Amino acid sequence: MAIKPFFLENCIQAQQAAHTLLRKPLINSFVRLQSSKPNNYVATRCRSVALAQCSSSSLSQDQISFFESEGYLVLEDFASAEECRQLRSRAGEIVEEFQPGPTTSIFSSKNQKDKTDEYFLDSASNISCFFEEKAFDSDGALTQDKSLSINKIGHALHDLDPAFQLFSRSPQMAAVASAVGFANPTPVQSMYIFKQPHIGGECIPHQDTTFLYTEPHSCVGFWFALQDATLQNGCLWVLPKSHTSGVTRRMLLTEDRRITFEGSIPEFQDDKFIPVQVKEGTLVLLHGALWHKSFENTSEKSRHAYTVHFVEGSNKWDPQNWLQRSGNNPFKPLERIN
List, for residues 290-317, the tens digit of each pLDDT value.
999 999 999 999 999 999 999 999 999 9
> Which pLDDT belongs to residue 115?
53
Residue 292 · residue 205 · CB < 8 Å? yes
Most confident of 13-17, 34-38, 176-180: 176-180
Question: Using 50, 70 and 90 to split pLDDT, how confident is the model at 228?
Answer: very high
Is 272 in contact with 308 (CB distance < 8 Å)? no
Q: Are the C-beta atoms of residues 79 and 281 closer than 8 Å to each other? A: yes
pLDDT tens-place string over residues 40-79: 333 323 333 333 333 444 899 999 999 999 999 999 999 9
235's CB contacts (< 8 A; 6+ apart) are 229, 275, 276, 277, 278, 294, 303
Pick the range with the lowest mean pLDDT from 19-28, 157-166, 169-178.
Answer: 19-28
Direct distance between the N- and C-terminal alpha carbons of the chain, in angstroms, rounded to an integer: 13
Cβ count near 100 (within 10 Å) = 13
Q: How far apart are CA 164 and CA 160, in angstroms?
A: 8
Residues 6+ apart with CB under 8 A from 334: 51, 169, 173, 174, 177, 185, 186, 187
pLDDT interval class at 140 (50, 70, 90): confident
Q: What is the pTM of this model?
A: 0.82
Q: What is the rounded average pLDDT of the residues 240-268?
A: 96
DSSP secondary structure of 198-240 = TTBPPEEEE-GGGTS-EES---EEEEEESS-B-TTTT-EEE-T
H helix intervals, the chain: 12-17, 61-70, 81-97, 112-115, 118-122, 157-160, 162-168, 171-179
| Contact (Cβ atoms closer than 8 angstroms) between residue 272 and residue 239 | yes
d(CA 244, CA 169): 29
Sorted by sequence, the CB contacts under 8 Å of residue 300 that are 6+ apart come out as: 197, 198
What is the C-alpha separation between 284 and 282, in angstroms, rounded? 7
Report pLDDT for 173: 96
User: How is residue 195 annotated by DSSP?
Assistant: -
User: Of 150, 136, 47, whose CA–CA distance to 107 is shortest?
Assistant: 150
Whole-angstrom distance, CA of residue 279 vs CA of residue 266: 31
245 pLDDT higher than 90? yes
Return the pLDDT at 108: 55
What is the predicted pLDDT for the residue at 53? 37
Mean pLDDT on 131-145: 89
For position 107, what pLDDT does the model report?
52
pLDDT on residue 116 = 54
